[in-house]
Chain A
C-alpha cells in the first residue's frame, strides 16, 4: 500500500506535464499572496479616501489629481537623477573592474575581489549610519576634515541638493559595485579562451579585445544589471532614509518611495500613498519595457 503511494507521488514528480507546475507552485502562491493581491488592493485603495482599513470612502480620481504638486514632481526628478547616475556608474565601473580582475597578470586578485564584494554583504542601514558620520556636516566630520586639511571649507553635505544626491549615490555605489562586479566576472569566465587566443594571433591589443570580445559576450549580463539598476533606482528608499530620517529638507532624500512612506504611513493618507505607488509601478514598467524592447529581449530565437 505504502509503496504504491510513494510510487504514485514519484510518478507525479516525474510527469512532464505536472511536475513543472508543482515546482513553480511555491513561487506562484507567494506571488499571488504577497505581490498580486497587494498590488490589486493598492490600485483599489488609490481611488479611496482611507480613514481606517475597514472604513473607506470612494473619491474617484481625486488622489491622482492631488499628485500634481511640487513635492511629487520633485520626488520624480530626484529619483530620476539618482537612477541615471547609478545607471551610468553601474554600466562603466563593474565591467571595467571585472575586466581588470579577470586578467591573469594582476597580483592579489582574490584580495581585490573580496574587498570590492564585502560591502554588498552589509546592510544599507548599518552602512548608512557609518556614511552619515563620514559625511557629517560639521568640521570634524571625516570627509570635511580631509577637505579642510586640503585647504577647503567644510561642506554641509546633507543640506544642499546636489551634495545630497552625491552622498546617496556614493553609498549605493559602494554597496552595489561588488555584486555587479561578480555578475560580470562570472560571465567573463564563461567566455572561451580560444576566442582570446585567436584575437591575439590576429594582432588585437587588450583594449580592442575587451571592446570586441568581452563586452559583446557578456551583453545579457549587462542588460540584466541595467534593468535591475533602473528598478532599484526608482524604488530607492533606504539610502535617502539613513541620511534624512526625520525630515526631507528642501526635497533632499524625498524619493518617490519616500513620498509614499511619508504620505501613507506618516501622514496617514493611504489613498494618496497608493496612488503614488500605482504611478511608480507605471513609471518603472514603461521604462523597463522600452529598454528591454530596444535591446531586443522580446525577440524569439535570437540566441
Chain B
C-alpha cells in the first residue's frame, strides 16, 4: 500500500508540474512586437495540411499590404471536434474565430441555425472577373444570392489504379485505358481477382464513398437543391444494387478501418490490399503523405460510367472557408482568404503544397500543374483530367445535407454491407423515410 501511495504522489506531482509548465507556455506566447502592430486574425482548421494554404496566403497578403500587415493565428482541431466547438461558440456568441474551415459534411449546420457567417460575394466576384473557375463548387456554399464559403478544391472523383497489382494479373495500362463503363471495370476486376486473389476495389462501410459519387454520376443524389429527399430514387437503388453485386462477386471488399480516413486504411491501401480505389482528387495528398510504398505505381484515370453520356467525374467532398460575422476585421479576413485560395498563385500553391485540384481552372494550364508527378505513374493529373471537367457535376447541398450524410454512413452502408440486415432497396427506403420525418 505504501508503495502505491508513493507512486500516486509521484504521478500527481508530475502531472501538476506538467500542467503548470503548459500554462506558462500559453500565456508567455505574446511577445511585444516591433514598430507596426500587425492585425491578428484567428483561424480554425480541422486538417493540418490546410495550414500550408494559409501560410502562403498570409505571406502573399503581407507582401501586397506591407503598410498594414496581418498575423494569422492558426489552430488545428480534430474534424468533428472543431465543428462542435465552433457551433457552441456561435450559439453562445463568444469565442468564435475570425475565419474557420468548414467541412462540407457540417456546413449546413452553420447556415441553418443563425446568422453567423459573413457573405463573401465581393471577393468571389472579384475572383470571377479575373479568372475562370469551376463554379459548381461555389454553388455548394451559396444560399440565396450569397456565397458563405470559399471552396478549396474541385474534388474530381477518379479511379486510382495500383498498377503493380494490375500488371501482376497480366494486364497493362492499355487495358485500363480502355475501361469506359463500370461493367468493363468489373470484368477487369474479375480477372484481377482470379489471377492474383486481390479484390478490385473497396467500399467505405463507415462512410459514404464511393456510393455518393456513383449515385451523383448516375443522375441521383441524397437531396434536391430544395431539400426534397430523393435518397430512395430508382437510380440510387440501382447503383447500390450494382455495388452489392460487386461485393457479392468478391471484387469489392470493406475498406480497412471502414473509412479512407482511418489510420488503418493507409496501411491497408499501402500494402496492396486492393487493386484500385474510387476517390476524389484530393485523396492524392493522402497517397503522398501516408502511402510511401505506392510511389510510381498509382495511375489516375477518370471514372467509368454506367451508361453513355454520364459525366466521367463528380466533385465530392469539400472545405468551405467561412468568415464569422462577428469578426472585427471582416474586410481584411476576406482579402486574406482571396490571397490564400482564389488567386492564380494560390491555386498553384494549393497543388504544389497540398496536392489538391484547385478551383481556379486557369491555373490548370500552368506548367507546374502539367509537370508529370513521379508518384502518380509519371503522369500529370491535370493533363489526364482536364478533358473531362466540362461535364463535371457536384452533389446538391441542401438543408438536410448533414443529416442525409449521417444516415448513409451510420445506417445504409453498415446495414447493406456489414450486417446484411437490409437489401439495398430496404436500406435506402428506410433511410429516406427517416430523413423525411425530419422535414
B113 near A268 with CB under 8 A, answer yes
Question: Can you list, as one digit per residue, whether each of B358-378 has a CB less than 8 Å from chain A (1) or not (0)?
Answer: 000000000000000000000
Q: With a CB–CB cut-off of 8 A, which chain B residues contact A52?
A: 90-91, 113-114
A51 near B113 with CB under 8 A, answer yes
Q: With a CB–CB cut-off of 8 A, which chain A residues contact B79?
A: 246
Q: From B407, which residue of chain A is reached at the shortest CB distance? A: A71
A135-169 contacts to B (CB < 8 Å) = 136-138, 140-141, 156, 158-161
- Listed A/B pairs (18) with beta-carbon separation below 8 Å: A113-B1, A113-B4, A114-B3, A133-B263, A137-B257, A138-B264, A138-B268, A158-B258, A159-B206, A182-B4, A250-B414, A254-B410, A266-B83, A266-B84, A266-B109, A267-B406, A268-B91, A268-B112
Q: Is A96 an interface residue (CB 8 A)?
A: no
Q: Which of B1, B4, B403, B437 contacts A267 (CB 8 A)?
A: B403
Q: Is B411 an interface residue (CB 8 A)?
A: yes
Q: Is A1 an interface residue (CB 8 A)?
A: no
Q: With a CB–CB cut-off of 8 A, which chain B residues contact A55?
A: 114
Distance in angstroms from A291 CB to nearest chain B CB is 30
Q: With a CB–CB cut-off of 8 A, which chain B residues contact A118?
A: 7
Q: Is A82 an interface residue (CB 8 A)?
A: no
A225-269 contacts to B (CB < 8 Å) = 244-252, 254, 261, 265-268
Q: Is A121 an interface residue (CB 8 A)?
A: yes
Q: From A251, which residue of chain B is reached at the shortest CB distance? A: B410
Q: Is A53 an interface residue (CB 8 A)?
A: yes
Q: With a CB–CB cut-off of 8 A, which chain A residues contact B413?
A: 249
Q: With a CB–CB cut-off of 8 A, which chain A residues contact B414?
A: 159, 249-250, 252
Q: Other than the known A136-B264, A246-B259, A247-B406, what 18 A-B pairs have Cβ atoms closer than 8 Å?
A: A53-B91, A110-B1, A113-B1, A114-B3, A136-B263, A137-B258, A138-B264, A138-B268, A140-B271, A159-B258, A160-B418, A245-B78, A247-B410, A249-B409, A252-B414, A266-B106, A266-B402, A267-B403
A156 near B411 with CB under 8 A, answer no
Q: With a CB–CB cut-off of 8 A, which chain A residues contact B1?
A: 110, 113
Q: How large is the interface on B (under 10, 10 to 19, 20 to 34, 35 or more residues)?
A: 35 or more
Q: A156-B258, A159-B258, A251-B410 are in contact. Are A51 and B205 (CB under 8 A)?
A: no
A267 near B206 with CB under 8 A, answer no
Q: Which of B90, B268, B406, B418 contacts A159 (CB 8 A)?
A: B418
A250 near B402 with CB under 8 A, answer no
A147 to B410, CA, bound (A): 28
Distance in angstroms from A295 CB to nearest chain B CB is 28
Q: Tally the A-B contacts, defined by beta carbons under 8 Å.
A: 116
B267 near A140 with CB under 8 A, answer yes
Q: With a CB–CB cut-off of 8 A, which chain A residues contact B207?
A: 246-247
A250 near B258 with CB under 8 A, answer no
Q: Is B33 an interface residue (CB 8 A)?
A: no
A63 to B287, CA, bound (A): 45
Distance in angstroms from A161 CB to nearest chain B CB is 7
Question: Can you list, as one digit per residue, whether each of B226-263 has a CB less than 8 Å from chain A (1) or not (0)?
Answer: 00000000000000000000000000001011110111
A267 near B109 with CB under 8 A, answer yes
A51 near B410 with CB under 8 A, answer no
B1-16 contacts to A (CB < 8 Å) = 1, 3-4, 7-8, 11
A247 to B268, CA, bound (A): 20
Q: From A266, which residue of chain B is reached at the shortest CB distance? A: B84
A250 near B263 with CB under 8 A, answer no
Q: With a CB–CB cut-off of 8 A, which chain B residues contact A267?
A: 109, 402-403, 406
Q: Is A117 an interface residue (CB 8 A)?
A: yes
Question: Can you list, as one digit per residue, whether each of B94-114 has a CB less than 8 Å from chain A (1) or not (0)?
Answer: 000000000000100100111
Q: Is B171 an interface residue (CB 8 A)?
A: no
A138 to B80, CA, bound (A): 24
Distance in angstroms from A75 CB to nearest chain B CB is 12
A249 near B206 with CB under 8 A, answer yes
